[in-house]
Amino acid sequence: MTRIDVAPRLGDDLDPKMIEFLHDKVNTFVKWDLIRFFHDNPHTADTAENIARYTGRDILAISDELAELVEADVLIGQMVAGRAIYRLAEDRQMRDMVNTFVRACDDRLFRVKAIYHVIRSMR
């Protein structure tokens, strides 16, 4: 039986900006969940503890990921009364990219390609 490696072709038809977004911003599955959470709740501004509870993730699993999303300009982090509060970035281009990503996730084939790129980014 001949084995065909389709991995090199995964994502060939993805927009280069989407591939960059996947590699630079959504490069873990925790970040994927967080981006989806903030997309679905665009006016949320909350602590890591509450975000962990809402997303069903452990606080230890999301703390560093939230900080990295702030560094990547996907989220805004600010200190309020000595506590870090996180919210979706206000930048229109970033919000549009988040929206494009989450809407594309409704397509099974896109999700397969996105998963491939996230796994590659995790290496």
At 111, which CATH number? 1.10.10.10
Q: How far apart are CA 48 and CA 32, in angstroms?
A: 16
Distances in Å between the Cα of 15 and the Cα atoms of 30, 33, 62, 69, 109 are: 23, 21, 28, 21, 14
Q: Is residue 60 part of a domain?
A: yes
Pairing status of strand 75-80 against strand 45-46: unpaired
Q: Is residue 2 part of a domain?
A: no
Q: Is residue 112 part of a domain?
A: yes
Looking at the structure of the chain, the number of domains it has is: 1
Q: Both tokens of residue 45?
A: 């501004």
Q: Is residue 42 part of a domain?
A: yes
pLDDT of residue 60: 93
Provide the residue range defining the domain that includes 67. Answer: 14-122
pLDDT of residue 4: 47
| Residues of the chain predicted below pLDDT 50 | 4-7
Q: How far apart are CA 73 and CA 89, in angstroms?
A: 7
Q: Is residue 1 part of a domain?
A: no
